[in-house]
Chains A and B, each alone.
Chain A
């Protein structure tokens, strides 16, 4: 997963927006993903974006894609305690998914 880079930790106050950033390497990736992993739980597909899109919004989640810079971000609006988890950025490559190391999101009261 080292080809996909993301910061390891992020702390955000409850009610604020969280922005998790990621850079990837394969410009030919068709799909880019955000997965959420809570303690003791499996990976949950949060959202994905096609490489020909710049933005995708789904309720409190906004994904931005900058193909030129190979930069992907996930914005969570009105962050809540239930958003506390590890968020994995991932890219599709040759029919498999390549994951980053994950960003642990910590919610401050």
Chain B
């Protein structure tokens, strides 16, 4: 297993454009999380899925943001009409939720978004 992967690693876009990021979790993990990290801050929770169901969305996730996990495997995070304030590192993490299993989230390398 190669761990959590994210694509692209870097994205530069102009304000107002739409962008989409992809995350591939560890294959046996049923939970997938999206976080956002800005400079000098820790990661902040955005949303998470258990299998294909989106269970929670943070208030940070405005209506310009949408996330999907259609088949319970990979996930996409789309940002519409990007703003300069969207510039950040977008991190994906996955974990396995099951009885008696330790609660460990494993993170991908992130997608760094720069909005110009």
Interface residues of A (CB under 8 A from B): 1, 4, 30-31, 35, 41-45, 48, 88, 90, 92, 94-102
What is the CA–CA distance of A28 and B102 in the complex, to the nearest angstrom?
Answer: 16
Closest residue of B by beta carbon distance from A93 = B45
Interface residues of B (CB under 8 A from A): 4, 31, 33, 40-45, 48, 55-56, 91, 93, 97, 102-110
Interface of B is mostly: loop
* Residue of B31, B42, B45 touching A102 (CB-CB under 8 A): B42
* Residue of B4, B43, B97, B109 touching A1 (CB-CB under 8 A): B43
Contact flag A45-B106 (CB < 8 Å), given A90-B42, A95-B55, A101-B41: yes
Q: List 16 A-B contacts (CB under 8 A).
A: A1-B43, A1-B44, A42-B4, A42-B91, A42-B107, A42-B108, A42-B109, A43-B43, A44-B107, A90-B42, A92-B103, A95-B97, A97-B43, A97-B93, A98-B45, A102-B42
Chain B residue numbers with a CB within 8 Å of A35 are 107
Interface centre among A44, A90, A95, A99 (most CB of B within 10 A): A95
* Residue of B40, B104, B110 touching A48 (CB-CB under 8 A): B104
A97 touches B105 (CB 8 A): yes
* Residue of B31, B40, B55, B109 touching A41 (CB-CB under 8 A): B109
